[in-house]
Chain A
Amino acid sequence: VTLLEQNPRWRLVPRGQAVNLRCILKNSQYPWMSWYQQDLQKQLQWLFTLRSPGDKEVKSLPGADYLATRVTDTELRLQVANMSQGRTLYCTCSATTGGGQDTQYFGPGTRLLVL
């Protein structure tokens, strides 16, 4: 059974345009949801962990700006903006039941290519 769904699965992003990603949780027993990002050929990097509806966080990293929102108990969103031209980015969400000892399960991910 799939725990996490993500959409879109891939997107061509015109330079200067922001993109909105969704992550849908299928089992509310895994309420701690996170976003990770990965540049092509580089390491997966944690971005955010949001637990409660209404939680929001922003982060600026080299090559992109991020805004994460926990919309509901089952939906997590990520807005990616100001991406560098020619960049390929992979964003994936995860979910876990609780603390560091609990397994994190990942969604299928979204691939972004900036034109």
Chain B
Amino acid sequence: TQTVSQSDAHVTVFEGDSVELRCNYSYGGSIYLSWYIQHHGRGLQFLLKYYSGNPVVQGVNGFEAEFSKSDSSFHLRKASVHWSDSAVYFCAASRSSGSWQLIFGSGTQLTVMP
């Protein structure tokens, strides 16, 4: 069974701070990992994805994530957050072949204080 866990339901930081949102997965085979952002009242927007190669993946708006097979993790980071980064962030996984089913984590609400 494939699972994705986001251990922090809420993270609060100040504008200009760095932030790391954690994601861990469990799956025995090849896996693709993604991060999505959902602002209040809007749909999920794609941030970035890892499927092979360089374990550090760059995304939009200064976000990056690092894949670690040894830790079964795919944490999302940003060096300096802006108030507009306040949103819910979802980590998602899918099998590498023939599957369109994304398995989502429970989400992390990021609040950026001015």
Interface residues, chain A, with chain B CB atoms under 8 Å away: 4, 32, 34, 36, 42-46, 49, 92, 94, 96, 99-101, 103-109
Task: For chain B, residues 81 to 110, give those with C-beta under 8 angstroms from any C-beta of chain A.
Answer: 90, 94-107
Secondary structure at the B interface, as helix, strand, loop or mixed, is loop
Would you call B43 and A92 a contact (CB within 8 A)? yes
B34 within 8 A of A: yes
Q: How far is the CA of A49 from the CA of B98 in the complex (A)?
A: 12
Contact A49 B42 (CB under 8 A): no
B43 and A49 contact, CB distance less than 8 A: no
Residues of A within 8 A of B51 (CB): 101
Is B63's beta carbon under 8 Å from chain A?
A: no
Is residue B32 contacting chain A, with contact meaning CB distance below 8 A?
Answer: yes
B90 touches A103 (CB 8 A): no
CA of A106 to CA of B36 in the docked complex: distance in angstroms?
10
Contact of B46 among A34, A36, A45, A103 (CB under 8 A): A103
Known: A34-B100, A92-B44. 6 other contacts (CB 8 A): A34-B101, A43-B106, A44-B44, A44-B90, A44-B104, A109-B42
B105 adjacent to A100 (CB under 8 Å): no
Q: Could you say which residues of chain A place their CB within 8 Å of the CB of B46?
A: 103-106
Are A96 and B104 neighbours in the complex by a CB distance under 8 Å? no
Q: Which single residue of chain B is at the shortest CB-CB distance from A4? A: B43
Interchain Cβ contacts under 8 Å between A and B, 29 examples: A34-B100, A34-B101, A36-B104, A43-B104, A43-B105, A43-B107, A44-B44, A44-B104, A44-B107, A45-B104, A46-B101, A46-B103, A49-B101, A92-B43, A99-B97, A99-B99, A100-B32, A100-B94, A100-B96, A100-B97, A100-B100, A101-B32, A101-B96, A104-B34, A106-B44, A108-B42, A108-B43, A109-B43, A109-B44
